Homo-oligomer: A and B are copies of this chain.
């Protein structure tokens, strides 16, 4: 595990060097977990020489050995104002330029920490840390493969829990129960303040086209207090059911959607589904080092335009302007397959690709799979068929 930690730290150090930053102070659970493989409340201090310090508020009985740190690099703190003296006591100089997680840290905490390092230039390191996390180590890739494998094993049981007349919420509850029994941890981690959902979404009929305030691929009415996903309307004959749950089986989140039907769908739905699969096949081919994110998005858009479905791609009244996104410790890692995204793919990046199309009176069709970027194109993590499964074929 120390070797694995060093690989993660090296990725952060590389970003620090590129940005000429002298030190980085991490406090979010996700980045703490990225460095230490566990979560504590407090601060992780990493300087450009690679010196790593654990400054822990809670648990108060955590020990240096729990973090695999030498005693002198571990400190139980009560407040951030203690940090500079701790550094000086160890013969370290205070950084002239320091990263904080400015896209995640509330302003009040940022102001307080800035005062602690009054002589330093404080910069926002959030984006660079996301970039560091975007290329996965072999172990991280293995964890994502494991999540996908367990995730698809759950989805194979979905037809067994469907009962005619169920509402979307009722079926969602059964799928969530399968997920949890299959080892899903439940927690749906997102980056930023633009997404919040319980475990995932299930959409059928007209609800699939309901616009949402959140930054997900599709919407759904949900509940007024959390307007996303399933509502309480019954799933009807001739409708599709698109299941999109977060696959958090070990802290690393794979993303997997599958489309089901209640009986036969109109022919237009199957045609649109094949267009989605064509887009997925095209993107899988592009998931190689050197590909540019916006090019992939534009290529996908070409396919959907040729099929005459551009006006219902990724939503209808409101359309999401992406077709894939990184995933890992949060469901929305970098990079994003979206317009104007110049990011260049690197081997080991992991992306969820989710071409989805709205069909009036039916719901959404399409699919979603998580892929690892390799020299040979995307490695698809789930083996489950992408075809529409009829829930009444039992």
A251 to B107, CA, bound (A): 26
A100 to B107, CA, bound (A): 10
Given contacts A41-B194, A107-B124, contact A180 B176 (CB under 8 A): yes
17 contacts between A and B (CB under 8 A): A28-B193, A38-B224, A39-B226, A41-B214, A58-B215, A58-B318, A60-B211, A62-B211, A103-B106, A103-B107, A108-B124, A108-B126, A173-B181, A176-B186, A177-B180, A187-B197, A187-B198
Does A213 sit within 8 A of B, measured CB to CB? yes
CB 8 Å contact bits of A93-108 with B (1 = contact, 0 = none): 0000000101111111
CB 8 Å contact bits of A66-103 with B (1 = contact, 0 = none): 00000000000000000000000000000000001011
CB 8 Å contact bits of A177-189 with B (1 = contact, 0 = none): 1001100011101
Interface residues on A, range: 35 or more
Interface centre among A173, A225, A250 (most CB of B within 10 A): A225
Complex contact A318–B214 (CB within 8 A): no
Shortest CB distance A117–B (Å): 14
Complex contact B176–A187 (CB within 8 A): no
Does A110 sit within 8 A of B, measured CB to CB? yes
A169-221 interface with B by 8 A CB criterion:
173, 176-177, 180-181, 185-187, 189, 192-194, 196-199, 211-215, 219
Does A317 sit within 8 A of B, measured CB to CB? yes
Does A339 sit within 8 A of B, measured CB to CB? no
Complex contact A59–B198 (CB within 8 A): no
A192 to B29, CA, bound (A): 12
Query: Chain B contacts of A100 at CB under 8 A?
Result: 107
Does A37 sit within 8 A of B, measured CB to CB? yes
Query: Chain B contacts of A213 at CB under 8 A?
Result: 29, 39-42, 57-59
CB 8 Å contact bits of A219-256 with B (1 = contact, 0 = none): 10001111100000000000000000000101100000
Out of B110, B181, B197, B219, name the residue touching A107 (CB < 8 Å): B110
Query: Chain B contacts of A60 at CB under 8 A?
Result: 211, 317-318
Known: A60-B211, A176-B176. 8 other contacts (CB 8 A): A29-B213, A37-B224, A39-B213, A61-B211, A102-B111, A106-B126, A176-B186, A225-B251
Complex contact B214–A198 (CB within 8 A): no
Interface centre among A39, A176, A212 (most CB of B within 10 A): A39
Complex contact B194–A39 (CB within 8 A): no
A139-153 interface with B by 8 A CB criterion:
none
Complex contact B173–A211 (CB within 8 A): no
Complex contact A106–B105 (CB within 8 A): yes
Query: Chain B contacts of A111 at CB under 8 A?
Result: 102, 107
Shortest CB distance A196–B (Å): 7
Query: Chain B contacts of A214 at CB under 8 A?
Result: 41, 58
Chain B residue nearest to A124 (CB atoms) is B108
A219 to B40, CA, bound (A): 12
Shortest CB distance A150–B (Å): 14
Chain B residue nearest to A319 (CB atoms) is B60
Out of B57, B194, B219, B251, name the residue touching A59 (CB < 8 Å): B219
Query: Chain B contacts of A126 at CB under 8 A?
Result: 106, 108
CB 8 Å contact bits of A20-62 with B (1 = contact, 0 = none): 0000000111000100011111100000000000000111111
